[in-house]
Chains A and B, each alone.
Chain A
């Protein structure tokens, strides 16, 4: 691969970095990242990856843009209300950087399609908002041996971690073995979020994905970074691989991707008309 004159200018601030250079930029242009969810977390992730010249960005989301999304989902604009989020996102990402190949998945991600999609990518970004999908994504990454960059947000708090079971690391189920009981999962009335916190956490996920592709620095593998925006405190705790994990432990009970349920709060996603 030979950088074009335009690419040399576009990526000059990457190329200047001793840890990146032209060689690193070419790695980014060849890389493939799959973003599950293109909302509060997925938007900043995909924006920074596209700006960085990520070769292929896959985006999966079956929702349409709602006015209540716009407070934090920065890829979608007021004019996009009612459009599929994947279409709205692809439009912006292609405008930002024509070098990027954006592949969209408009169907719901299920146990029947997730493995074959994940198989096509190097890294998976979890930008989902519910436990069943998080487990599904985690399990697919385990079986397909892909690195998972996980992010989550709640009110003023956020967390980021990288799960790399194919490198001997812990998985999401080692950290959260099962869906918390009803009552511990925040209801939709409690699930407020400061938009900029989504941007902060999503941006950190993008940084971890870029580091992983470039193979630089220390990744958040087997570490959980937590942040509290109210006092702007950051903390990192160690995650230990669980030998009794149902998925990646010594006697796994889970043999393939499966779907689980959590209590619905079905008026959450109804559009305001």
Chain B
């Protein structure tokens, strides 16, 4: 899991639902199949909902890990 090469990053720590997912989804739309997006988000609602919504649209969540405090990084492989 640690070997995933990140192609693009997005920080949605300042966004609130549903813009957290909207921004993530728009970023994924610009990527090619198989590329990896690193999303920086906050614990709580974004951490619960964004990975779930991303998977519902057919992308794959590769890894979720705590960066520091309540900030997490989620790795998503574009469908």
Contacts and interface: CB of A to CB of B under 8 A. Distances in A.
A153 to B, nearest CB: 36
Interface in A9-26: 9, 12, 15-16, 18, 21-23
B19 A21 contact: no
Contacts of B52: none
A179 B26 CA distance: 50
B22 A12 contact: yes
Contacts of B23: 8
A21 B21 CA distance: 11
Contacts of A8: 19, 22-23, 26
Interface residues of A, number: 10
| B25, B26, B29, most chain A CB atoms within 10 A | B26
Contacts of A9: 19
B68 interface: no
Contact residues of B: prevailing secondary structure: helix
B18 interface: yes
A3 B19 contact: no
A9 B18 CA distance: 10
Interface residues of B, number: 10
A16 B26 contact: no
Contacts of B2: none
Contact of A22 (B18, B29, B56, B57): B29
A22 B25 contact: yes
Interface string B2-25: 000000000000000011011101
B57 to A, nearest CB: 6
A8 to B, nearest CB: 6
B19 A23 contact: no
A3 B26 contact: yes
Nearest to A13: B18
Nearest to B19: A12
Interface of B: 18-19, 21-23, 25-26, 29, 56-57
Interface of A: 3, 8-9, 12, 15-16, 18, 21-23
17 contacts: A8-B22, A8-B23, A8-B26, A9-B19, A12-B19, A15-B22, A15-B25, A15-B26, A16-B21, A16-B22, A16-B25, A18-B56, A18-B57, A21-B25, A21-B29, A22-B26, A23-B29
